Amino acid sequence: MNIPGRLRTDADGHAAGGAPNHGEDIEYLKRRVERLKLYSAALTLILMEKLGVTQAEIDKAVDMIDGMDGIKDGTMRRMVVNCPRCGKVVNQKADKCMYCGNDALEVPFLERI
């Protein structure tokens, strides 16, 4: 994997020299989570101060988005889409619908950011 700002690793997560690099991967991920928390807080503040959005409205949106993957577990790991042709639920990472073969699956907005 080669992510900007991160040490270079191969597909198995090994550092350029070949040794496992899990400690650095964990530190990298911790920094990313803290950065995402910072941006989340900033966006929440802007929504509340500039647009008058309430905490209850934000909580409601979080709850709705949490349930979009079919499981309310505080994550949005398993994003799924409804096939526009047959309406069945399909993993959004699939190239095509496993039920009808439609290859024009729409990726939800939140998965494109």
How many residues of this chain bind Zn ion (CB under 5 A)?
Answer: 7
Closer of 35 and 96 to Zn ion (Cβ): 96
d(CA 86, CA 58): 32
Q: How far is the CB of 93 from Zn ion (least distance, A)?
A: 15
Q: How far is the CB of 78 from Zn ion (least distance, A)?
A: 18
> Considering the rule CB under 5 A, would residue 83 count as an interface residue with Zn ion?
yes
> Considering the rule CB under 5 A, would residue 102 count as an interface residue with Zn ion?
yes
d(CA 77, CA 2): 22
The C-alpha torsion from 94 through 100 and 104 to 107, rounded to 10°, is -50
